[in-house]
Amino acid sequence: MPDPILQLKNLTVEFDTEDGVVHAVTDVSWELAPGEILGIVGESGSGKSVSMMSILGLIPTPPGRIAGEALFKGENLITMPKKRLREIRGGPVAMIFQDPMTSLNPVLTIGNQISEAIKVHNRGISDDDADKRTVELLELVGVPFAERRVRQYPHEFSGGMRQRAMIAMSIANNPSILIADEPTTALDVTIQAQIVEVLKAAQQETHAATILITHDLGLVAELADRVVVMYAGRVVELSDVFAMFDKPGHPYTVGLMNSLAKLDAEQDLLEPIPGQPPSLVTLPPGCAFHPRCQLSQGRAICRTEVPPLRPFAAGVGGHVSACHFAEELTAGRQHAEAAGPVA
């Protein structure tokens, strides 16, 4: 693996609230290689977004508390002076937000907002040049008649077009890291497919390493090279995307996959993961997933010891899992496959 462009080391984010300390992100470590696409999946509240917001300094502290390191090209984003961090935000590290309906300023034209993003990071650029670049960017993300559309306001754009504009804004300064926070969640399915194409195009244009935060496993399978699965603020599985879909190493990942509707199988009911995500204030002791885990079957170690991320028997090429019994999972699956398909 080449030198990572972004390296998280034991990133921990906590919030002081009246109900106690919320452990939003606990001890998260991973690396991002230049140009790769890393998917982060997990339920709502599993710490996906918070971990990314925290490294960009978008978490107010207090009440937030951030520990650990986030090294961007060797510079620690967490301890960096605010001024330097502001140069990085929107410059080399850019972000695409979830909801294009609310992430665009209603009283500024689309062109205004994109050229604004350009001007923030290129002091002294002429208005003409910024406007030209804006039109280029909009054309790149597939907004038709960009020259006229730049003069329109967000309310004159459809949802898909707004998300395209958001993507144009995020790649305006040729970022080397692009953080896409659930870029398709607020859109309907047909538009989602188009936005995926735009994301691919944007990534090819900038060669930016991309962090794709989502709970859409389909999107991960489509775009990502590697996957981080998060549960209750911790990384529970980290793997190459093919390895994960082939041989998931954590019962939570298996649960996520089982809860998807399958196109190739007859299915009356979806199979949800039983129970609810735990409260982040009072996390279950041991493995946070054990109360919902079908593999644990009440074994003591699941309730007492936090499982570390570790390679496991069936895992290949850096496939790690935080389950005490990851081997059983793959063994059980092989067993089932050997027994043939169950009707």
Partner 1 sequence: MTDPMYDRNVMQHSSGSAPQPAMAGGMPIGDTSQAELAYEAGVELKARSQWAYVRMRFFRHKLAVASVIVLLLIALVGLFAPQLAPYGYDEINLEAIAMSPTLDGWHIFGTDQLGRDYLTRVMFGIRTSLWVAVMVALLATLIGTAIGAVAGYFGGQIDNLLMRFTDLILTLPGLAVLLTASVYFGAGSPFKTGLILAFLLWTAVARIVRGLFLSLREKEFVEAAKASGAGDMRIIMRHILPNCVGPIVVFMTLVVAVAILLEAALSFLGFGIQPPNAALGSLIDDGQEQGLETWWLVTFPGLVIMLIALCINFIGDGLRDALDPTQRRIRA
Q: How far is the CB of 181 from partner 1 (least distance, A)?
A: 9
Phi first, then psi, for residue 177 (nearest 5°) are -130, 135
Residue span binding partner 1 (CB under 8 A) among the ranges 82-90, 223-231, 269-277, 284-292: 82-90
Q: Which is nearer to partner 1, 97 or 312 (CB)?
A: 97
Is residue 66 near partner 1 by the rule CB under 8 A?
no
Q: Which is nearer to partner 1, 180 or 293 (CB)?
A: 180
Give the total of residues touching partner 1 (CB under 8 A). 32
Q: Which is nearer to partner 1, 79 or 102 (CB)?
A: 102
Q: Which is nearer to partner 1, 89 or 250 (CB)?
A: 89
Q: How far is the CB of 61 from partner 1 (least distance, A)?
A: 12
Is residue 156 near partner 1 by the rule CB under 8 A?
yes
- 129: which 2 tokens? 């040049």
Is residue 166 near partner 1 by the rule CB under 8 A?
yes
Which of 23, 48, 89, 247 touches partner 1 (CB under 8 A)? 89
Interaction residues for partner 1, span 91-150 (CB under 8 A): 91, 94-95, 97, 99, 102-108, 116-117, 120-121, 144-145, 148
Token match 């077009």: residue?
161
Q: Which is nearer to partner 1, 86 or 299 (CB)?
A: 86
Q: Which is nearer to partner 1, 67 or 120 (CB)?
A: 120
Which of 21, 34, 153, 303 touches partner 1 (CB under 8 A)? 153
Which of 9, 65, 73, 86 touches partner 1 (CB under 8 A)? 86
Q: Which is nearer to partner 1, 104 or 187 (CB)?
A: 104
Residues near partner 1 (CB under 8 A) are 56, 58, 86-91, 94-95, 97, 99, 102-108, 116-117, 120-121, 144-145, 148, 152-153, 156, 166, 169-170
